[in-house]
Structure 1
Amino acid sequence: MNWGYRIMLIIGLFLAMLFYFVYIASQQKNELMDSNYYKEEIEFQQKIDASNRLNQIYNKPLISQEQGNVNIRIPTQLAHHLKDGKIELIHYNDHEADLHLTFEPDSSGAQVFPSLLFKTKGQYKCRIQWRDDSGKYYREEDLQL
């Protein structure tokens, strides 16, 4: 085989590989975790203050997994005075698997979510926020299902 054909073959293989990688890259989903990113950024200092308020009272993880269920437990002294709260479970790779739930713990401060609630397994960022008479509380934790 002539060296000119070899060079053409190498260039052709390189171009085929390049087009293959471009095709694979175009099929990937690249979504922002928040659709309202700029609004969240403006309110970020309030989240820091709420997180610091919670860390002064309770510095342990709020989320645990037992028997296939996701358990969220806050201190009982905070659960008795809770006015309203919400939980956002943001899936890292699939925006359609995100969950936005109301946080309504029982008198012991616990709320249980069955695993059937989660459509997609994988890595989630769990954002828990609630307020009571003394102020707002906030915590972010990672959750692997």
Structure 2
Amino acid sequence: MNWGKSIVLVFILFAGFIGTMVFLMTRQHIDLVRDDYYQDEIAYQQHIDRLARTARLPQAPSLRIDPVRQEIDLSMPADWQQGTLTFYRPSNRQQDQRITLSPGQQHVSTAKLGKGRWRAQLNWSAGGLSYFHEQTFTKL
């Protein structure tokens, strides 16, 4: 094989590689954080108020992740009435899970969660006010 044929072959292989990469990149699924982004942005001030109320609490909630038992241990303020714990998966919204919490509940299983990065978002109410706490963790 001479130099002319080799150069043409290299260009053809390179063009095939670039074409394959473009094809694969356009087939990649990208999730938006939220479908209702604009409506959620309007209500963001309420979220800021919940965060500020949570920061002023004398006893802040805590979420302790126990990877061995595959549980999250909850430590909530004494006067909370109802709440939800949302496991938010930034990379795939189909894996998100929401759990309704009862006042006596102290442990939540993480066994059904897939491996990777998660955000535990805790919403609760006490005394007619709503609160929010978020913690990021990685399940191994």
What range describes the TM-score normalised by the shorter chain of this pair? 0.7 to 0.9
Number of residues of Structure 1 aligned to a counterpart in Structure 2: 137
**Cα offset, 1:4, TM superposition:** 2.5
Consecutive unaligned residues in structure 2, runs of 5 or more: none
Q: Matches of 2:103 and 2:41 in 1, distance apart?
A: 28
Match of residue 73 from structure 1? 75
TM-score, with length taken from structure 1? 0.79
> RMSD value over aligned CA atoms?
2.2
**Cα offset, 1:50, TM superposition:** 0.6
Consecutive unaligned residues in structure 1, runs of 5 or more: none
Q: State percent identity of aligned pairs.
A: 23
TM-score, with length taken from structure 2? 0.82
Q: Matches of 1:22 and 1:36 in 2, distance apart?
A: 29
Counterparts of residues 88-103 of structure 1 (less than 5 Å): 88-103=86-101
Q: Match of 2:111, SS?
A: helix
**Cα offset, 1:47, TM superposition:** 0.7
Higher relative contact order (CA 8 A, sep 6+): 1
Q: Match of 1:117, SS?
A: coil
CA contact (8 A) 1:29 1:93 kept: no
4+ runs deviating over 3 angstroms? 58-61
Q: Matches of 1:11 and 1:132 in 2, distance apart?
A: 67
Q: Which of the two has greater helix per residue? A: 1
- Verify: 1:114 aligned to 2:109, yes or no: yes
Q: Match of 2:106, SS?
A: strand
**Cα offset, 1:102, TM superposition:** 1.1
